[in-house]
Amino acid sequence: MDAWSRPTPPGIEVGVAYFTIRNAGKSDRLLRASSPVAKSAELHVSSTNGGIMRMEPLSSVEIGSGGSASFEPNGKHVMLVGLKRPLKQGDAFPLFLTFAKAGRIKVQVRVGEMSDAGTGEGMDYSRPGGFRAR
């Protein structure tokens, strides 16, 4: 639910997708993601340790029965690698999430507006990343 992305400037070949998974069924695992807007989509997590931001790949994400998993700035996210075109404000694109039990699920991702370009400084996180996704 609430899947959103940031716009990308021309020439930038990586993008990102954020969303929340709510599991109303039995425990499951998110195994992978894909989208026709990119050559590949990778599960990643960002973390800060000792003042240094790191991004690491995730092999899967467990979502317990009745649980949820948030993919958000400075945390878990889907990295879109090898964008086939820039992501523009107002666009929407499909993202396919593949689960161990639930199988492949299509999510519609909306590209919001950029409130402040750069590293995230000055962004309003009271709305998803400072971007309007709905």
On whether the pTM is more than 0.85, the answer is no
pLDDT truncated to tens, each residue of the chain (134 aa)? 999 999 999 999 999 999 999 999 999 999 999 999 999 999 999 988 888 889 999 999 999 999 999 999 999 999 999 999 999 999 999 999 999 999 999 999 999 987 533 333 333 333 333 333 32
What contacts 113, CB < 8 A, 6 or more positions away? 7, 89, 131, 132
Domains in the chain, ordered, with CATH? 4-114 (2.60.40.1890)
| Calculated CA dihedral for residues 38, 57, 75, 102, nearest 10 degrees | 70
